[in-house]
């Protein structure tokens, strides 16, 4: 047998010449330029005319200059139904990658409305899923910028599948990495549930809206005529439904505020929230706090004044400032350590706990506990809101959310009662009984089952007005102070208002080594 040729070469076959490197690089540039052009100049102009930036412009503003590393710029859909083969754009309507915010890593996806309306098909969804898988492995927050017409209608069930794949990622990532959604245009149908599972939703005023079904479907089903804005604009979600945690004037402000929020957040639950050097003296006294609480117990005051005077450099990032304003939630630092703050607001509905304020604060407390933020609670609460509207709306279950969230939280919990702590609301607001670690009261605190007038009218139902006034004074003298609770050890100390910052900073330091674990279980059954 003849020996085999070592490098056989078929006779007559022309040798294939490799493309010169220069041509390959030009091709790369051409493809990159195509991807970066999005839907083309006309659609970009239309985007700008609506007061919206493009997806790439948004990413540039969100991230530190030059830090963005893009993934999957060349991914395209493979659909051929409904002439879609002629409507292919590299990137497929979503830009994904990672970069830095003030030097700290985040993953980003930004929907590009100029490409098929930012709608979601299989390839688009796969890019987002891949980003999530990477973010979970590495342990870094995900920020999603939403501007999309929802499920790509031409892709049918594949787009529904793509949404579900993302919802699963959102769910698995919950409590592991922080997730922030910024709604910067339409966010309809399938697109709304991803933000809904994420930790924070911010909207841009007047250019964004969120709804499950749009005005056309509403008209067909309920015969209601409604605008995009009235159905799902920021006034609906940031002020009434509580779906959104804030609304900003324009794209620039929204992205700047997200950068500010990210500065407070840990990369994942594998590390603590980032500390930074504080230039605010930890034992700074604030004499004006001695007169913050008015002599008249029914006169309101602004709890935000207390917050800004106590925290480092008065820097407070408020979450959901427009919704359930009777409770204030947000992030701040104390001697450089990030903390979550929850405070009843006597200026709105006397700081009462109702359905909305309970829901808002419960969600915030759970975020803090999941990501190791110590919780500082300022209490001035006359109780739970009475009335048929509240009871029919399920106040019992919603109020229990806040109680449950505080009770299960194992992070350091410091509580200060400034004035009223009445009834069940006293128990709920991070009391000693549900594992408050350090519980202080100002001398102006009143800890009782209810206000003295209401209490006396129940106990002495048939008494004369004169007798009622007498008993009221007696009840006040007995309970309208912090000393009964302090004598039982329910309050650790009665502190002077001007020394509040110093005492809370010291308490926080003392709790650095706190170790507390809940009983083992698959998961709890929070009253949803
Ligand atoms: C495919 C879409 C699209 C979509 C928009 N486009 N939404 N293509 N699927 N869902 C395309 C348009 O055809 C158009 O392409 C381009 O994007 C820009 O859209 P316009 O309509 O010109 O923009 P505008 O006037 O600003 O209106 C925006 C809009 C509207 C209100 C979002 O596009 C709209 O109503 N879209 C459909 C919304 C929707 O019903 N989505 C499906 C939801 S159901 P051309 O080439 O003409 O410029 C859903 C179920 C999933 O999501 C459930 C999973 C759990």
Task: Name the residue ranges covered by the structural domains of the chain.
Answer: 34-264, 287-445+481-510
Evaluate if residue 189 carries a pLDDT over 70: yes
Task: Give residue 239 CA to ligand 1 midpoint distance, Å.
Answer: 26
Evaluate if residue 61 carries a pLDDT over 70: yes
pLDDT in tens, 252-266: 999 999 999 999 999
Task: Give residue 60 CA to ligand 1 midpoint distance, Å.
Answer: 25
Of all protein residues, whose CA lies closest to atom 36 belonging to ligand 1?
Answer: 149
Q: Which residues line ligand 1 (CB under 6 A)?
A: 116-117, 119, 149-153, 160, 163, 186, 188-190, 214
**What is the average pLDDT across 55-77?**
96
**What is the average pLDDT across 229-247?**
97
- Fold entry, domain 287-445+481-510: 2-enoyl-CoA Hydratase; Chain A, domain 1 (3.90.226)
Q: What is the pLDDT of residue 15?
A: 63
Of all residues in the chain, what percent carry a pLDDT higher than 90? 84
Task: Give residue 190 CA to ligand 1 midpoint distance, Å.
Answer: 12
Dig out the tokens for 79 from the structure. Answer: 């659909």
Residue labelled with tokens 């009964």? 484
Q: Phi first, then psi: give them for residue 454, nearest 5 degrees.
A: -60, -40
Tell me, yes or no, if 425 is annotated catalytic. Answer: yes
> What span, in angstroms and rounded, lies between the C-alpha atoms of 148 and 183?
9
Of all protein residues, whose CA lies closest to atom 3 belonging to ligand 1?
Answer: 149
Q: What is the pLDDT of residue 495?
A: 98
**What is the average pLDDT across 400-425?**
97
> What span, in angstroms and rounded, lies between the C-alpha atoms of 45 and 374?
46
Q: Phi first, then psi: give them for residue 259, nearest 5 degrees.
A: -60, -40
> What span, in angstroms and rounded, lies between the C-alpha atoms of 104 and 324?
32
Among candidate residues 38, 190, 351, 423, the one labeled active-site is 190
284 DSSP β-pair partners: none
- Fold entry, domain 34-264: 2-enoyl-CoA Hydratase; Chain A, domain 1 (3.90.226)
Among candidate residues 350, 424, 454, 463, the one labeled active-site is 424
> What span, in angstroms and rounded, lies between the C-alpha atoms of 234 and 206?
7
Residue labelled with tokens 């609304």? 247
The helix/strand/coil state of 422 is strand
Task: Give residue 249 CA to ligand 1 midpoint distance, Å.
Answer: 24
> What span, in angstroms and rounded, lies between the C-alpha atoms of 62 and 68?
10
Dig out the tokens for 298 from the structure. Answer: 């029914």
The 8-class DSSP code of residue 332 comes to E
**What is the average pLDDT across 135-143?**
98
Task: Give residue 150 CA to ligand 1 midpoint distance, Å.
Answer: 6
Q: What is the pLDDT of residue 430?
A: 98
Q: What is the pLDDT of residue 136?
A: 98
Residue 146 near residue 187 (C-beta atoms within 8 A): yes
How many other CB atoms sit within 10 Å of the CB of residue 242? 19
Burial 176-190 (b: 16+ CB within 10 A, else e): ebbbbbbbbbbbbbb
> What span, in angstroms and rounded, lies between the C-alpha atoms of 31 and 272?
42
**What is the average pLDDT across 331-360?**
98
Cα 107 to Cα 212, 479, 518, distances in angstroms: 26, 53, 32
| pLDDT class of 211 with cuts at 50, 70, 90 | very high
Let me know if 335 is exposed, middle or buried by CB neighbors in 10 A (0-12, 13-18, 19+): buried
> Are the folds of 34-264 and 287-445+481-510 the same?
yes
Residue 215 near residue 179 (C-beta atoms within 8 A): no
Atom of ligand 1 nearest to the CA of 214: 40
Per residue, what are the HEC states of 201-269? EEEECCCCEEECCCHHHHHHHHCCCCCHHHHHCHHHHHHHHCCCCEEECCHHHHHHHHHHHHHHCCCCC
| Half-sphere exposure in the Cβ direction for 480 (13 Å, CA) | 17
| pLDDT class of 1 with cuts at 50, 70, 90 | very low
Among 38, 114, 117, 163, the mutation site with the greatest number of ligand 1 atoms within 8 A of its Cβ is 117
Task: Give residue 117 CA to ligand 1 midpoint distance, Å.
Answer: 6
Let me know if 3 is exposed, middle or buried by CB neighbors in 10 A (0-12, 13-18, 19+): exposed
Tell me, yes or no, if 190 is annotated catalytic. Answer: yes
Evaluate if residue 10 carries a pLDDT over 80: no
pLDDT in tens, 11-39: 555 566 778 888 899 999 999 999 999 99
Tell me, yes or no, if 424 is annotated catalytic. Answer: yes
Atom of ligand 1 nearest to the CA of 50: 26
Could you tell me which residue, 478 or 165, shows the higher pLDDT?
165
Distance of CA 153 to the CA centre of its chain: 30
Among 82, 150, 158, 190, the mutation site with the greatest number of ligand 1 atoms within 8 A of its Cβ is 150
Secondary structure (DSSP) of 7-24: S---TTPPPPPPPPHHHH
| Candidate from 188-192, 300-304, 369-373 with smallest mean pLDDT | 188-192
| pLDDT class of 305 with cuts at 50, 70, 90 | very high
Q: What is the mean pLDDT of the chain?
A: 94
| pLDDT class of 74 with cuts at 50, 70, 90 | very high
Atom of ligand 1 nearest to the CA of 152: 9
Per residue, what are the HEC states of 348-393? CHHHCECHHHHHHHHHHHHHHHHCCCCEEEEEEECCECCCHHHHHC
pTM of the model: 0.94
Secondary structure (DSSP) of 295-327: SSTTS---HHHHHHHHSGGG--EEESTTSSTTE
Of all residues in the chain, what percent carry a pLDDT higher than 70? 97
The helix/strand/coil state of 286 is coil
Distance of CA 73 to the CA centre of its chain: 29
Cα 323 to Cα 196, 233, 354, 434, 489, distances in angstroms: 16, 14, 12, 26, 35
The helix/strand/coil state of 69 is strand
> What span, in angstroms and rounded, lies between the C-alpha atoms of 134 and 71?
11
Sequence length of the chain is: 528
CA angle at 497 for the pair 493 and 501, rounded to the nearest 5°: 85
**What is the average pLDDT across 215-240?**
94
Q: Phi first, then psi: give them for residue 247, nearest 5 degrees.
A: -140, 140
Evaluate if residue 298 carries a pLDDT over 90: no
Evaluate if residue 270 carries a pLDDT over 70: yes
Let me know if 6 is exposed, middle or buried by CB neighbors in 10 A (0-12, 13-18, 19+): exposed
Q: What is the pLDDT of residue 88?
A: 87
């Amino acid at each position: 047998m003849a020996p085999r040729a070592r490098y056989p070469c078929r006779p007559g076959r022309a040798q294939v010449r490799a493309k010169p490197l220069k041509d390959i690089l030009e091709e790369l540039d051409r493809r990159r330029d195509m991807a970066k052009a999005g839907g083309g100049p006309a659609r970009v102009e239309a985007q700008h005319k609506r007061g919206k930036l493009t997806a790439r412009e948004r990413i540039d503003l969100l991230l530190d200059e030059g830090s963005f590393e893009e993934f999957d710029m060349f991914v395209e859909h493979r659909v051929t139904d409904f002439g879609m083969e002629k409507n292919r754009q590299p990137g497929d309507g979503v830009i994904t990658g990672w970069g830095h915010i003030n030097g700290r890593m985040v993953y980003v996806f930004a929907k590009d409305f100029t490409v098929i309306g930012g709608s979601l098909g299989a390839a688009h969804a796969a890019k987002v899923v891949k980003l999530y898988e990477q973010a979970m492995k590495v342990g870094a927050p995900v920020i999603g910028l939403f501007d999309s017409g929802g499920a790509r209608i031409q892709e049918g069930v594949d787009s529904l599948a793509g949404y579900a794949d993302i919802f699963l990622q959102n769910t698995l990532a919950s409590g592991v990495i922080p997730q922030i959604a910024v709604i910067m245009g339409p966010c309809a149908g399938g697109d709304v549930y991803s933000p809904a599972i994420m930790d924070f939703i911010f909207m841009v005023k007047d250019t964004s809206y969120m709804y499950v079904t749009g005005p056309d479907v509403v008209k067909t089903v309920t015969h209601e005529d409604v605008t995009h804005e009235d159905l799902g604009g920021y006034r609906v979600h940031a002020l009434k439904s509580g779906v959104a945690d804030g609304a900003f004037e324009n794209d620039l402000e929204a992205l700047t505020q997200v950068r500010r929020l990210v500065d407070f957040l840990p990369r994942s639950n594998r590390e603590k929230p980032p500390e930074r050097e504080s230039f605010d003296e930890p034992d700074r006294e604030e004499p004006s706090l001695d007169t913050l609480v008015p002599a008249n117990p029914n006169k309101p005051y602004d709890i935000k004044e207390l917050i800004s005077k106590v925290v480092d450099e008065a820097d407070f990032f408020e979450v959901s400032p427009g919704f359930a304003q009777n409770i204030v939630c947000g992030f701040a630092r104390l001697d450089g350590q990030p903390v979550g703050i929850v405070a009843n607001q006597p200026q709105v509905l006397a700081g009462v706990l109702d359905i909305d304020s309970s829901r808002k604060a419960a969600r915030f407390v759970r975020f803090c506990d999941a990501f190791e933020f110590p919780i500082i609670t300022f209490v001035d609460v006359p109780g739970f809101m009475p009335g048929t509207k509240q009871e029919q709306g399920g106040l019992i279950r919603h109020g229990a959310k806040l109680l449950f969230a505080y009770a299960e939280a194992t992070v350091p919990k410091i509580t200060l009662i400034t004035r009223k702590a009445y009834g069940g609301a006293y128990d709920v607001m991070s009391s000693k009984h549900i594992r408050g670690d350090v519980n202080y009261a100002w001398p102006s605190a009143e800890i009782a089952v209810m206000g003295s007038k209401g209490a006396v009218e129940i106990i002495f139902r048939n008494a004369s007005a004169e007798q009622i006034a007498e008993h009221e004074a007696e009840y006040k003298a007995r309970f309208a102070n912090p000393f009964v609770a302090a004598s039982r050890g329910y309050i650790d100390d009665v502190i002077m208002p001007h020394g509040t910052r110093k005492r809370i900073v010291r308490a926080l330091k003392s709790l650095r080594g706190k170790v507390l674990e809940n009983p083992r279980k698959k998961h709890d059954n929070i009253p949803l």
